[in-house]
Structure 1
Amino acid sequence: MDKIGIIVSNENPKSLAMAMNLGHTALASNIEVITYFTFDGLTHLMEGEKDLSAIEPLLDAGMPNPYDLLDQFVADGSDLVSTVACTTTLDMLEWEQEAMDDSVTTKFAGAATFLNEVDDADQVFTF
């Protein structure tokens, strides 16, 4: 396996944690990861404080903060990681690209670009 795609369309931080766990595992195996944030999942790339109350018990039990995992994923991934903010969703919701956190957003693109980039992917996962 040389490339996977991950679609994050859910705003729950637990979904981000699962996506980042998969992404980090792929990186450890030297697998390219294209992560596409769309619809409610796009909120994970936005600047500002994040509400972690939905996963507080998991954090208390030792689960890493999913936003720290996202930061580390992008920092460690180099050329193997793309985190793509869906431009169609941004346009539809009338959100500005400037609202996205540059430290974790590596690219802006629509669904057609994502599909083209994962055309040769071994797997595409959705969270």
Structure 2
Amino acid sequence: MEKIGIIVDNDSPKNLAMAMNLGHTALASDTEVLVYFTFDGLTHLLEGENDLSEIEPLLEEGMPNPYDLLDALVADGGDLVTTVACTTTLDMLEWDQDAIDETVTTKFAGAATFLDEVENADQVFTF
């Protein structure tokens, strides 16, 4: 089986959309997907309202909501999808782990764990 890693370190919903599109495409090809949310990318995992104003014109033209894509990736992916909230970043920013939406977060781990898990990945992408 193939495997990809995706690093999301940007708070832009447009970058999240690109990462989720890649994840869904990989999943459709039975490729294992590991998504690592770190630094500003952790904001995508926070519970509560998401600011979509940056991509409102794209949404009006039919682009799917990237947060719906994230929900679907986790829900549809089963054992093939792992979404990781970076604990090192949580500690550094002094964010409480309880603020992270566990419905879209399958694991809490640091960079060493991510590196270990993508060691045998075919490719790693950054958004």
TM class by shorter chain equals over 0.9
Deviation at 1:109, TM superposition (A): 0.3
Following TM superposition, the consecutive aligned residue runs of length 4 or more in structure 1 with deviations greater than 3 angstroms are none
Give the number of equivalent residue pairs.
Answer: 127
Deviation at 1:18, TM superposition (A): 0.2
- Rounded to whole Å, the distance in 2 between the matches of 1:45 and 1:73 is 13
Q: Which residue of 2 aligns with 1:39?
A: 39
1:124 equivalent to 2:117? Answer no
Q: Which residue of 2 aligns with 1:13?
A: 13
Deviation at 1:104, TM superposition (A): 0.1
Determine helix, strand or coil for the equivalent of 1:114.
Answer: helix
Give the AA of the match of 1:81.
V
- Rounded to whole Å, the distance in 2 between the matches of 1:19 and 1:97 is 23
- Rounded to whole Å, the distance in 2 between the matches of 1:58 and 1:8 is 20
TM-score of the two chains, using structure 2 as the length reference: 0.99
- Rounded to whole Å, the distance in 2 between the matches of 1:46 and 1:106 is 13
Deviation at 1:99, TM superposition (A): 0.4
Q: Which residue of 1 aligns with 2:73?
A: 73
What is the root-mean-square deviation of aligned Cα atoms in Å? 0.6
Give the AA of the match of 2:99.
A
Q: Percent of aligned pairs with the same residue?
A: 80
Q: Which residue of 2 aligns with 1:53?
A: 53
- Rounded to whole Å, the distance in 2 between the matches of 1:107 and 1:99 is 14
- Rounded to whole Å, the distance in 2 between the matches of 1:33 and 1:112 is 17
TM-score of the two chains, using structure 1 as the length reference: 0.99
Deviation at 1:89, TM superposition (A): 0.3
